[in-house]
Structure 1
Amino acid sequence: MQIQMKGIHKAFGSNQVLSGVDFDLREGEVHALMGENGAGKSTLMNILTGLHARDEGTILIDGKETYFTNPKEAERQGIAFIHQELNVWPDMTVLDNLFIGREMSSPVGFLKYKEMKALAKKQFQRLAVDIPLNVEAGECSVGQQQMIEIAKALLSDAKVIIMDEPTSALTEREIQKLFEVIASLKKDGVSIVYISHRMEEIFTICDRITVMRDGKTVDTKNIPDTNFDEVVKKMVGRELTERFPARNPNPGEVVLEVEHATRKGLFQDVSFQVREGEIVGFSGLMGSGRTEIMRALFGLDRLDSGEIRMFGKKAVIRKPVDAVKLGIGFITEDRKDEGLVLDFSVRENMVLPSLSGFTTKGLISSQKESAFVDALIKRLQIKTHSRETAAGNLSGGNQQKVVIAKWVGIGPRLLILDEPTRGVDVGAKREIYQLMNELTGHGVAIIMVSSELPEVLGMSDRIVVVHEGHITGELSKDEATQEKIMTLATGGQ
């Protein structure tokens, strides 16, 4: 299947999102679609698949002008969209998920389970994956759920699969598996639109790249004809002199001490400390217990044993409000479910943890509140139509900035960042890194949990490595390498 999109325009009210975008997809190619958050990538694909109607422009599929009115229509014509938030029903079996909305039944209405299982097994064999069909999808790993979504697309005879940030929550092993599946699909003539902010992946598996900026197409090139720096410059409209800003830490007194912290079945005997003005990176494979440790520190989960001290004094943290009172902020890895109230405005989300600071005798000062929010929007360069825009209407990167702003606003002494740049473009990443430097420059202690080794190495002053709920080692910035971190993360010495 070949697709051509020419001069696509789209506005939502007064917000012009796309201004004459051109994009084409060849049969059997992996085409990267890149741009900063808010550049219009997802909107363009939503127009292709019929979720949104274009305002102007032409779409040609195999040379014929074609417009879909809804995603189901696009799917029936062989175009499937696998979103970043996977569309899996956790309480239903894998088999039911694969055939939801397209169940095979007899003339009298009985489901043809035998035929459905045979077709499902055939697609799993094609993808070289082994997932039991009778287990609930919620019991599967994120990588397995991704394969369920791909198999579902192939069952609808998809000729084009759009993948939006497909590796953002996958382990290294699952990423390699996905790449093998993509290579296999490509050989079968399936075309892939690959939306990602992970530059290394783009140069590993893609054939061509289209860069968007501010709702316009900047350029389309063959991957061998471009490089990292050129792509970044086209995305952000300027050169990023360094991927990670230089750090000159000057650690002060110990802010946080954790001793022998244990939560049965998740992590055991965890001890570490964090000082003023330093970034301590937490690394480890997915499922190692990193996030679980942070949740317990913030009072989302209870410790079975161990002690937490803030500035040398024992801290009793039974719930998040206790942590906030101590000056601890927590940016969770799941911004949509835990970090934001998507129906609330940008303003309402930002002031949630610090609402008492704008209240006098039970009355909220809207003037102080608005000034506070406007200052944070400006400082973090959040792209929003106004402070009253619903957070759910922002791009992923700008949603992440709102979450960060929310916790920066409390004036934290300790900030826990769990996957702070997941799904964030290269320009926004740089802004987040600079903010981290600015905060530590003012004495804030930061714990950063990250699955991206270059990020861990580029931003951490010390690195704590976790394996199966145990701390297996601590490395200084000077001695840390990817090889040493991976050795400790897999249980080696």
Structure 2
Amino acid sequence: MAYLEARGLGRDFPGVTALNDVDIDVESGRAHVLVGENGAGKSTFVKLVTGTDRPSRGQIRIDGKDAAEHPDLFRYIAYVPQELSLFPHMSVAENLLMPFHASGHRGLVRRRTLEAKTQSYLDRFGIAAKPSDLVRNISVPDQQLLQIARASTNTDMRVLILDEPTSALTPVEVERVFRVVRDFHERGIGVVFISHKMDEVFDIGDDYTVLRNGKKVDAGQLADVDEDRLIRAMSGQKLELGTMFRPKVPRGKPLLTVTGLSGRKFDDVSFTLDRGEILGFAGLVGSGRSEIMQTIFGFLKARGGRVSLDGADWPLGDTTKSVAGGMLYLSEERKHHGIFPHLSLRENIGLSITDLTNSPLGISAARERAAVDDIIKDYEIRTASREKKISFLSGGNQQKAIIGRAMAMTPKILIFDEPTKGIDVRTKAQIYKIMQGLAEQGIGIILVSSEMDELRKCASRIITMHSGRITGDFDSATADSEQLVGAIFATETEHV
């Protein structure tokens, strides 16, 4: 039986229809996968069925009743967003059980009661933390599970919506999330699972709906379809999933040399990056991959070791000198560290291209518009206008804008940290092609990714990490998945 029903659901905004005539049923005890490219209407649908926005037309029924007439019914729908929405400076217990009404007496919080209740959830969800731990000190996978656990503290929950819950997790960590989802199934809770990862869609899903340009274009049971059909429905065209994006020109001389580098969460790391190479870094979340890159770039302090660029010592601990020297770091948290959400697309790009737009009288508006338009065209950024706020663009188009802005600064080295997190299949392929083209121009690229398929498609070599140490250096053309996964969990260095 469908516990959540959408009938003829539509939502209009000035000049655009974000959702049009969409029907979806979410049944108790089943996982309904919602897929579509960035901008297809998935987020709009979620806002409507969680009661955070009102439809322009159509009906939402919860437990057989019209939610417009009974808005209190939205309490049965729980939602876990893609971006972590925890309070990092508060404890696990405080994040889990806020607003504490079930953990005190007459408005007073009882710490013992709070932590006892929290421990039961930590045990059930397999979260490796103590109730008193600060959230900022626990791993990203545990934070993701904590968000799901927090949603489950809603005792009225009958439908749980998970938006890209595994976007930055490795396969082992994904399985932890899936165990929780399967437990919800057994308890009769319906799950809406939003994902761009096709293997996960078929692993966890029962039913599916495909949205494209705000419309439902396909729906049914996943047992009756294959991956190609879903991707064709999402994109409106056939995509070659097996395409490789490794640079097609020979690697040049060493560009970046890292020797004995130690810092936060890693120790004694050495590797080289050649000109025109895409060098992949694989490892569990918390293995030290991102910390190495942030130390090389200057965000974090090094405890020892040295780095050289083109044979000359590289100044560690100074991001300004890194940028001036031709090194750029593109963070996985693009909404926090990559864009200025309240500024337009033009303003976001224009901040970094002043060398192209300066005139004797200051910044030339005409030059800026022309330069921004060139970047929009060259990087195929989909937008109604250069003046549109960048926060209104899809994640994939935001990422392409960030890359275009970076390339206007003519870097020698680009460090990509989870560049396709939360991005649809077609846009991923566009970003892979951009990276390939940049490498073939002689730029050195480091690609940090939790997706093994992404690394094997794009990287010439893959370095694996475990507990802050390098455990393998592989030729991606010859290494298989078993070797790579084995090295991620290994403790001794292995070269293939």
Asked if 1 retains the 8 angstrom alpha-carbon contact of 2:141 and 2:285, the reply is no
C-alpha displacement at 1:128, in angstroms?
5.2
C-alpha displacement at 1:238, in angstroms?
0.4
Summarize the Cα distance change of 1:103–1:479 in structure 2 as closer, same or farther, 3 Å threshold: same
C-alpha displacement at 1:122, in angstroms?
4.5
Asked if 2 retains the 8 angstrom alpha-carbon contact of 1:50 and 1:67, the reply is no
Residues 167-178 of structure 1 mapped to structure 2, 5 A cutoff: 167-178=166-177
Query: Residue in 2 aligned with 1:442?
Result: 441
C-alpha displacement at 1:354, in angstroms?
2.8
CA–CA separation in structure 2 for the residues paired with 1:108 and 1:302: 48
Asked if 2 retains the 8 angstrom alpha-carbon contact of 1:260 and 1:305, the reply is no
Equivalent position amino acid for 2:51 in 1: G
Unaligned stretches of 5+ residues in structure 2: none
Residues 377-416 of structure 1 mapped to structure 2, 5 A cutoff: 377-416=376-415
Which deviates further from its counterpart, 304-313 or 207-216?
A: 304-313
Query: Residue in 2 aligned with 1:454?
Result: 453
Equivalent position amino acid for 1:202 in 2: V
CA–CA separation in structure 2 for the residues paired with 1:292 and 1:106: 40
SS at match of 1:104: coil
Unaligned stretches of 5+ residues in structure 1: none
Summarize the Cα distance change of 1:323–1:264 in structure 2 as closer, same or farther, 3 Å threshold: closer
Residues 79-478 of structure 1 mapped to structure 2, 5 A cutoff: 79-101=77-99, 103-104=101-102, 108-111=106-109, 116-117=114-115, 119-127=117-125, 129=127, 131-157=129-155, 158-247=157-246, 249-254=248-253, 256-361=255-360, 363-478=362-477
CA–CA separation in structure 2 for the residues paired with 1:68 and 1:263: 60
Which deviates further from its counterpart, 414-423 or 114-123?
A: 114-123
C-alpha displacement at 1:107, in angstroms?
7.1
CA–CA separation in structure 2 for the residues paired with 1:320 and 1:69: 54
Summarize the Cα distance change of 1:424–1:271 in structure 2 as closer, same or farther, 3 Å threshold: same
C-alpha displacement at 1:409, in angstroms?
2.2
C-alpha displacement at 1:61, in angstroms?
1.5
C-alpha displacement at 1:364, in angstroms?
0.6
CA–CA separation in structure 2 for the residues paired with 1:461 and 1:130: 35
Summarize the Cα distance change of 1:326–1:126 in structure 2 as closer, same or farther, 3 Å threshold: closer
C-alpha displacement at 1:251, in angstroms?
2.8
Equivalent position amino acid for 2:257 in 1: V
C-alpha displacement at 1:109, in angstroms?
3.1
Equivalent position amino acid for 1:42 in 2: S
Query: Residue in 1 aligned with 2:6?
Result: 5
CA–CA separation in structure 1 for the residues paired with 2:355 and 2:245: 36
C-alpha displacement at 1:376, in angstroms?
1.8
C-alpha displacement at 1:130, in angstroms?
6.1
C-alpha displacement at 1:234, in angstroms?
0.7
C-alpha displacement at 1:176, in angstroms?
1.2
Query: Residue in 2 aligned with 1:62?
Result: 63
C-alpha displacement at 1:119, in angstroms?
4.5
Summarize the Cα distance change of 1:344–1:85 in structure 2 as closer, same or farther, 3 Å threshold: same
Residues 30-69 of structure 1 mapped to structure 2, 5 A cutoff: 30-67=31-68
- Over the aligned positions, Cα root-mean-square deviation in angstroms equals 2.3
SS at match of 2:52: coil
- Paired residues, what number? 490
C-alpha displacement at 1:347, in angstroms?
1.5
Which deviates further from its counterpart, 266-275 or 15-24?
A: 266-275
Asked if 2 retains the 8 angstrom alpha-carbon contact of 1:19 and 1:216, the reply is yes
SS at match of 1:240: coil
- Could you give the per-residue CA deviations for residues 460-482 of structure 1, whole angstroms, max 9, x where no partner exists? 11112222222222111332111
* Same amino acid, percent of matched pairs: 36
Asked if 2 retains the 8 angstrom alpha-carbon contact of 1:53 and 1:69, the reply is no
Asked if 2 retains the 8 angstrom alpha-carbon contact of 1:329 and 1:416, the reply is yes
C-alpha displacement at 1:452, in angstroms?
0.7
- Could you give the per-residue CA deviations for residues 265-287 of structure 1, whole angstroms, max 9, x where no partner exists? 43333222222222111112222
- Could you give the per-residue CA deviations for residues 41-96 of structure 1, whole angstroms, max 9, x where no partner exists? 011011111111111111112222113998xx5653x1111001122122222222
C-alpha displacement at 1:231, in angstroms?
0.8
Equivalent position amino acid for 1:257 in 2: L
Asked if 2 retains the 8 angstrom alpha-carbon contact of 1:359 and 1:365, the reply is yes
- Could you give the per-residue CA deviations for residues 181-235 of structure 1, whole angstroms, max 9, x where no partner exists? 1111101000110011111111111101111111111111211111111111111
CA–CA separation in structure 1 for the residues paired with 2:399 and 2:336: 12
CA–CA separation in structure 2 for the residues paired with 1:205 and 1:236: 22
SS at match of 1:212: strand
Give structure 1 regions of 4+ aligned residues with deviation exceeding 6 angstroms: none
Asked if 1 retains the 8 angstrom alpha-carbon contact of 2:196 and 2:423, the reply is yes
Asked if 1 retains the 8 angstrom alpha-carbon contact of 2:91 and 2:132, the reply is yes
Asked if 1 retains the 8 angstrom alpha-carbon contact of 2:276 and 2:441, the reply is yes
C-alpha displacement at 1:261, in angstroms?
4.1
Which deviates further from its counterpart, 388-397 or 61-70?
A: 61-70
Which deviates further from its counterpart, 417-426 or 239-248?
A: 239-248
Asked if 1 retains the 8 angstrom alpha-carbon contact of 2:39 and 2:394, the reply is yes
Summarize the Cα distance change of 1:127–1:280 in structure 2 as closer, same or farther, 3 Å threshold: closer
Summarize the Cα distance change of 1:476–1:366 in structure 2 as closer, same or farther, 3 Å threshold: same
Asked if 1 retains the 8 angstrom alpha-carbon contact of 2:104 and 2:113, the reply is no
C-alpha displacement at 1:114, in angstroms?
5.5
CA–CA separation in structure 1 for the residues paired with 2:413 and 2:87: 37
CA–CA separation in structure 2 for the residues paired with 1:127 and 1:320: 39
Asked if 2 retains the 8 angstrom alpha-carbon contact of 1:461 and 1:476, the reply is yes
Summarize the Cα distance change of 1:236–1:295 in structure 2 as closer, same or farther, 3 Å threshold: same
* TM-score relative to the length of structure 1: 0.92
C-alpha displacement at 1:129, in angstroms?
4.8
C-alpha displacement at 1:423, in angstroms?
0.7
Which deviates further from its counterpart, 37-46 or 258-267?
A: 258-267
C-alpha displacement at 1:298, in angstroms?
1.7
